[in-house]
Amino acid sequence: MSSEHDRYIEIWKKAVDTQMHFNEMSVKSRQLGLTFVAAALGVAVVALSRDEDFSLTLFICSVPISFHVAVLLNVAAFLALLAVRELDLNVYHRMLRGAVTFGEDFEQNYLKKIFDLEKGMTQAISHYSRNTDASVDKNGERYEYKPGTETSAEQKIRRFYTTTLTFLIISALIFFVSTNWTQWSNVRTATDQNANQNTLSAPDRRDELTEEIIRLLSVPSTHQENQ
């Protein structure tokens, strides 16, 4: 019987090692995503603080549209974080969930018979991870786990990525508007000046046209007086 218990414990230890491996891969992927975000924002702020014009300008309907390197860096970080999110949620997290499910199954059907516990380690971690207000009561020598509001780890991870991606979009829009505001203001000022000049020159043209008509009408009468 002791040999069988030892075999169970070895299997459990291997299951925990597998869970730790996939969890480490998930954490590293999120760290990589945050590195992209931090690097992009850092370089963007430095580029904006310098006097050089690090931008690509396109003319759309005769209006200059500048894409500053800060905007391009935010877009690149956004796309990189999307790739990391896909790798994290659909590869590493799925494998971690498989390893955790196996661990919970093994603890429920084998280890609990050996150690007479309410929950195994994997089950206890899952209990606190999935319930935001989870708690435990000690009844004598045994622990009773109290469920709370259930929120899966995947939902929390998706919320993390959604918040970070939204922040990148907002910062890119702020950089885009701030780097184009001066040009747009100059274009609007020039348009208003042209409109004012056209408005002021319109009466002058009407006066010139009136004088020309009077001159043409006076030509026949002058000719008749000479005859």
96 close to 23: Cβ distance less than 8 angstroms: yes
CB atoms within 10 A of CB 98: 13
**Cross-strand bridge partners of residue 138:** 143
Note whether residue 94 is domain-resident: yes
Q: At residue 124, what is the residue type?
A: A
pLDDT of 205 > 80? The answer is: no
110 close to 9: Cβ distance less than 8 angstroms: no
pLDDT at site 185: 62
Cα–Cα distance between 53 and 55 in angstroms, integer? Answer: 6
Note whether residue 225 is domain-resident: no
pLDDT in tens, 136-187: 887 777 778 887 777 888 888 999 999 999 999 999 998 888 877 766 665 5
Cα–Cα distance between 212 and 72 in angstroms, integer? Answer: 59
pLDDT at site 227: 47
197-207 b/e (C-beta count within 10 Å ≥ 16 → b): eeeeeeeeeee
Note whether residue 227 is domain-resident: no
**More confident position, 201 or 76:** 76
Note whether residue 119 is domain-resident: yes
pLDDT of 225 > 60? The answer is: no
Note whether residue 156 is domain-resident: yes
Number of structural domains in the chain? 1
pLDDT of 85 > 60? The answer is: yes
pLDDT in tens, 30-66: 999 999 999 998 988 888 887 666 766 767 676 667 7
pLDDT of 80 > 60? The answer is: yes
71 close to 43: Cβ distance less than 8 angstroms: no
Put simply, whether the predicted model's pTM sits higher than 0.75 gets the answer: no
Q: Please choose, from the candidates 222, 217, 11, 224, the residue with its C-alpha nearest in 3D space to the C-alpha of residue 114.
A: 11
Write out the residue range of the structural domain in which residue 131 sits. Answer: 2-181
90 close to 42: Cβ distance less than 8 angstroms: no
Note whether residue 22 is domain-resident: yes
pLDDT level of residue 26 (50, 70, 90 thresholds):
very high
107 close to 12: Cβ distance less than 8 angstroms: yes
Note whether residue 174 is domain-resident: yes
Note whether residue 77 is domain-resident: yes
